[in-house]
Structure 1
Amino acid sequence: AGPLPIMAPPRHDTAETIATIKKASVDVKMITGDHLNIAKELARQIELGTNILPNTALWPASAARDDLIASADGFAQVMPKDKHEVVAVLMGMGKVVGMTGDGVNDAPALAKAQIGIAVAGATDAAQAAADIVLTQEGLSPIYTAIAESRRIFKRLKAYVIYRICVTVQVVAFLCIVSFVYNEAFDALYIILLALFHDLTIVTIAYDHQTPSAKPETPTVVMLIFVAYSLGFVLSASSTILYAFGDKILSSRFVEDFKYKETCMFLQISNSSAILIFNARTQGFSFMSVPAIQLFMSAVVSQLFVNCMLLFAGGFIVEQMEPIDVATIWAYDLSWLIIIDLVKMTIIRIQDGGAQEQSLTQAMNRQSFMRASRAGKSSSKSSSTKLGSDVRISISGQPMVPKGTSDGLI
């Protein structure tokens, strides 16, 4: 008779999943009810870090204890109230906290965290307390959720910038025309602009976006500043054409006010369509490929507007000269570069000169550095590690039978 060692190994993709989440600038901690030695060994195998502390380090509460929670890789031998306390302390530091778990003892912490995640096969109590319930084995879907949430944030930000910007452009331009030139535009043009704006921007939900390497904090003031800045630049482009259009357009622009209105309608319509591609990127708009739905909505709407102005024969709007249509298009496309430069300057000032790095770029760089270090130290290391040929399942498809799943933050 003697001891019978039993080991429940982690899933083969757990180490890669944790490494991937860390590359996304998300700290990962383990909170488990297992013995301290078991927790440290598991943390070593998945390369989480071995600074695992017992639950006695969580009490009594103090500022030093809070710093310990922030710096530790995890805690072992914890009770449900300990998990809840760790989540509460991290949230009190201003961090956005996600908690994963599968048992009844995880429910209080799952409910407390901003993002409660119940893993596949979790108890009813854990699923009821969670905000997200994973339907596939493993933790890799968490990374998918992180990347997708950052894409959604970028789409929302592009939409907000676009909506504010086109409103500022139209309102500022009409105010200048009214108060400076004492002229008034037909309300029909404003209605048509609003209609085409809405039809075009609705497809932003399908746009391709690259998730950022770090979490983005939504700053309302900076969002409004960017939108208003671009809006005033666009209104300046419209005002300049209104004031000096006679230099580049046909004589009808000066002789016929209805024709002048139509020319300005085309200029604002074109620039607002182009703005969609400015708002969706932080660099030059032509360096990023939009979703086909977004691209085609802009193309179709502008094709309709241009055909209406060229072939309508004066129905609803004045028929324009082809040379004037081409000139206005060239004028708007030249302002595309100016708007991009203004946008990039504002973002550069906001970020303190740092270049935005996509999540894919950050992962590729860190993976290369990690592989280089591993290659140099492989001959010196003899410790047991996971197989180097293990691949991560980004889609969340199970690759091995279900293993252990303790709380991760």
Structure 2
Amino acid sequence: AAAEIIPLVLTAVLASIPVALPATFTLAAALGARALAKLGVLPTRLSAVDEAGTTDVLCSDKTGTLTQNALTVTTIHPMNGFDEAHVLALASLASADGGQDPVDAAIRAAALSKGISDAPKLVKFESFDPAKKMSEATATDSTGGTQRIVKGAFSVVIGLVQRTPTATVAVNELERQGFRVLAVAAGPQTAMKLAGLVALSDPPRSDSAALVTELHELGVRTVMVTGDAPATAAIVAHAVGLDGAICPPGPIPDNVHPEQFAVYAGVLPEDKYKLVKAFQKGGHTVGMCGDGANDAPALRQAQIGIAVSTATDVAKSAAGMVLTEPGLAGIVAAVKEGRITFQRIQTYTLNSIAKKIVTVLFLIAGLVMTGHAILTPLLMVIVMVAGDFLAMSLTTDNVRPSPTPNEWHIGKLTMAGAAMGICLLAFCIGILAIGKFGMNLGIETLRTLAFVVLVFGSQATIYAIRERRHLWACSRPSLWLVASSVTDIGIASLLAISGIAMTPLPPLMVAGTLAAATAFAFILDLAKVPIFSRLGVAERPSDRSLTHKTKGIRGLGAQRRSSS
């Protein structure tokens, strides 16, 4: 009759609404962002946590990320008519004083240690221009003559002076040894001469090789993107484990793939943007490191732009994450935390699918079995609050990061959740049938029993599916999850026994239902592992070695940016 149908429809509508879904997704990302902040990684938006977990290609800069960012002048190679002190003095004049540029700081420190007294007097200084690949200064010498002084990439500076074969040989030899080489030229505007070469060294960080390997094990391919010469970049790349081909200097091909090259040398800031676009065109989710204002377009285009610790404010504002410490450690932490957050949300999604299916079908089964709506709207609201309170605590659960970049397999996830829901439905109907036909309980008492079995059964389901493996091999649940579970069980038991908002149940019946739900968790676990394995939801053996793929839908942030 309508008196029974209307409450049934109302409770079914209540049961089908994922009330806590937006809050749970936001809470999971916020907790991930907080965890990253403690590790020295500052997300500039919550979606960056998800985006870090989807990354499968990392474009890493060299200086300060793979190397120590401790540049020192190692060798000075003067040309005819100049000595080492003179070359260093000229290079110092074309270097910024008090800036953040590590190259200029190293050159000025070396010049200061030499104690040069007869250096030309600086008149005008123009800071380093990434597009021109050089900085320059105007100075007056001891005779009052005006000199133009240029310091920058050899390929640029040599174009301003007469080319000398010996200089080219010297540059090639120094770069082959892994030094970063700058050329210095000076003289009148129309008659400049190559003064010499300044070679700087920046050794790799001690942890770079291990972190590059760890990223590889997580399914992230690392490529080096640097403005340095190919020979210099190759030495550092080999030292940190980036063994592969070097992309020839020049324009970035539109169809380039990460698998083709391990090093991109001589890259201009605008080339970084083109590189990101090319990788995205190939279906990759890209992380890009940068520090300068000119890197902003590439940082903004990448799914996850990463501003390194020495980045300018412009670069930081364009990035999705800002590192407070140099090196790759923060990036590895971001990838892992993104994967952990994904696993928590996936568990919540599985549980939500199972719970929505079982609740709606259980209401129908209850109506067929008893001829009455088995849950009142008030009881359904209590069930929903109890379930959502517990499910939201999954955002704090202890899980292992995914072994590969995050991808949503909606179809498989729905089938897995539905399978778990059917198992839970069978359990709930079984308990209700025992109460109806085995114990001859009245409809009001059956409603209380239905309430209790839904709450306790949902608890059992969460503990079964929070691990993709067997329960006895699982990680320990978080304190918040356990506390939420105990609170839910305690409140539901108290309401059922005391008869608040429902007909009271004997304590023994409540305890028996709880014991049955506990046994159901282990039975469900036995069914879960083969079901998850068949649907591709279960962990692979490689997952088990982690302490903390198939084609599908990547993270939401990744989809948004790769399509831009």
TM-score (norm 1): 0.79
Structure 1 residue 319 corresponds to structure 2 residue 319: no
Give the one of 464, 467, 486 matched to 1:278.
Answer: 464
- Could you tell me which residue of structure 2 aligns to residue 145 of structure 1? 334
- Give distance in 2, aligned partners of 1:52 and 1:147: 29
Cα separation, partners in 2 of 1:36 and 1:151, compared to 1, 3 Å: same
- Give distance in 2, aligned partners of 1:320 and 1:180: 20
SS of residue paired to 1:117 = strand
- Could you tell me which residue of structure 2 aligns to residue 361 of structure 1? 545
Cα separation, partners in 2 of 1:55 and 1:105, compared to 1, 3 Å: farther
- Give distance in 2, aligned partners of 1:242 and 1:2: 89
- Asked if the contact 2:309–2:326 (Cα under 8 Å) also holds between the matched residues in 1, the reply is yes
By relative contact order (CA 8 Å, sep 6+), the higher-ranking structure is: 1
Q: How do residues 345-360 of structure 1 correspond to structure 2 at under 5 angstroms?
A: 345-351=530-536, 355-358=540-543
Q: How do residues 264-275 of structure 1 correspond to structure 2 at under 5 angstroms?
A: 264-275=450-461
Q: How do residues 89-128 of structure 1 correspond to structure 2 at under 5 angstroms?
A: 89-128=278-317
Give the one of 374, 377, 382 matched to 1:187.
Answer: 377
- Could you tell me which residue of structure 1 aligns to residue 325 of structure 2? 136
- Give distance in 1, aligned partners of 2:208 and 2:441: 73
Counting matched residue pairs gives 352
Cα separation, partners in 2 of 1:352 and 1:280, compared to 1, 3 Å: closer
Q: How do residues 387-398 of structure 1 correspond to structure 2 at under 5 angstroms?
A: none
Q: Note the alpha carbon deviations across 1:91-118, whole angstroms, 9 max, x for none.
A: 1121111001112342222121110001
The code of the aligned residue for 1:270 comes to F
Give the one of 203, 207, 222 matched to 2:397.
Answer: 207
Q: How do residues 4-403 of structure 1 correspond to structure 2 at under 5 angstroms?
A: 5-56=199-250, 58-59=252-253, 61=254, 65-67=255-257, 69-179=258-368, 181-185=370-374, 186-245=376-435, 251=439, 254-286=440-472, 287-310=474-497, 312=498, 314-351=499-536, 355-358=540-543, 361=545
Q: Note the alpha carbon deviations across 1:294-344, whole angstroms, 9 max, x for none.
A: 11110121012213323x1x4422222233223222322222123223332
**Superposed displacement of residue 143, structure 1:** 0.5
- Give distance in 2, aligned partners of 1:128 and 1:256: 65
- Asked if the contact 2:468–2:539 (Cα under 8 Å) also holds between the matched residues in 1, the reply is no
Larger radius of gyration: 2
Q: Which has a greater percent of strand? A: 2
- Give distance in 2, aligned partners of 1:281 and 1:19: 27
- Give distance in 2, aligned partners of 1:307 and 1:19: 53
- Asked if the contact 2:270–2:295 (Cα under 8 Å) also holds between the matched residues in 1, the reply is no
- Asked if the contact 2:436–2:442 (Cα under 8 Å) also holds between the matched residues in 1, the reply is no
The code of the aligned residue for 1:243 comes to A
Cα separation, partners in 2 of 1:315 and 1:19, compared to 1, 3 Å: closer
Cα separation, partners in 2 of 1:193 and 1:362, compared to 1, 3 Å: closer
The code of the aligned residue for 1:317 comes to M
**Superposed displacement of residue 353, structure 1:** 8.2
Cα separation, partners in 2 of 1:245 and 1:38, compared to 1, 3 Å: same
SS of residue paired to 1:71 = coil
Q: Note the alpha carbon deviations across 1:14-62, whole angstroms, 9 max, x for none.
A: 2222222122111000111110100101101112114222233734x4x
Cα separation, partners in 2 of 1:50 and 1:192, compared to 1, 3 Å: closer
Q: Note the alpha carbon deviations across 1:359-403, whole angstroms, 9 max, x for none.
A: x71589xxxxxxxxxxxxxxxxxxxxxxxxxxxxxxxxxxxxxxx
- Give distance in 2, aligned partners of 1:339 and 1:305: 22
The code of the aligned residue for 2:305 comes to G
The code of the aligned residue for 1:213 comes to P
**Superposed displacement of residue 7, structure 1:** 0.9
- Give distance in 2, aligned partners of 1:106 and 1:94: 22
- Give distance in 2, aligned partners of 1:352 and 1:164: 14
- Give distance in 1, aligned partners of 2:336 and 2:221: 15
The code of the aligned residue for 1:295 comes to V
- Asked if the contact 1:238–1:267 (Cα under 8 Å) also holds between the matched residues in 2, the reply is yes
- Asked if the contact 1:212–1:357 (Cα under 8 Å) also holds between the matched residues in 2, the reply is no
Cα separation, partners in 2 of 1:9 and 1:219, compared to 1, 3 Å: same
- Give distance in 2, aligned partners of 1:190 and 1:203: 20
Q: Note the alpha carbon deviations across 1:214-233, whole angstroms, 9 max, x for none.
A: 22311222222222221122
Give me the identity figure in percent.
28
- Give distance in 2, aligned partners of 1:200 and 1:9: 50
Where structure 1 has 5 or more consecutive residues not aligned to the other structure, the ranges are: 365-409
Q: Note the alpha carbon deviations across 1:55-82, whole angstroms, 9 max, x for none.
A: 33734x4xxx535x43211211122332
The code of the aligned residue for 1:217 comes to E
Cα separation, partners in 2 of 1:342 and 1:216, compared to 1, 3 Å: farther
Cα separation, partners in 2 of 1:258 and 1:2, compared to 1, 3 Å: closer
- Give distance in 2, aligned partners of 1:128 and 1:146: 20
- Asked if the contact 1:119–1:139 (Cα under 8 Å) also holds between the matched residues in 2, the reply is no
- Asked if the contact 2:412–2:536 (Cα under 8 Å) also holds between the matched residues in 1, the reply is no
SS of residue paired to 1:72 = coil
Q: Note the alpha carbon deviations across 1:189-229, whole angstroms, 9 max, x for none.
A: 21221121122222222211111222231122222222222
- Give distance in 1, aligned partners of 2:458 and 2:309: 46
- Could you tell me which residue of structure 2 aligns to residue 391 of structure 1? none
Cα separation, partners in 2 of 1:354 and 1:150, compared to 1, 3 Å: closer
Return 183-192 or 293-302, whichever deviates more: 183-192
- Asked if the contact 2:370–2:443 (Cα under 8 Å) also holds between the matched residues in 1, the reply is no
- Asked if the contact 1:40–1:50 (Cα under 8 Å) also holds between the matched residues in 2, the reply is no
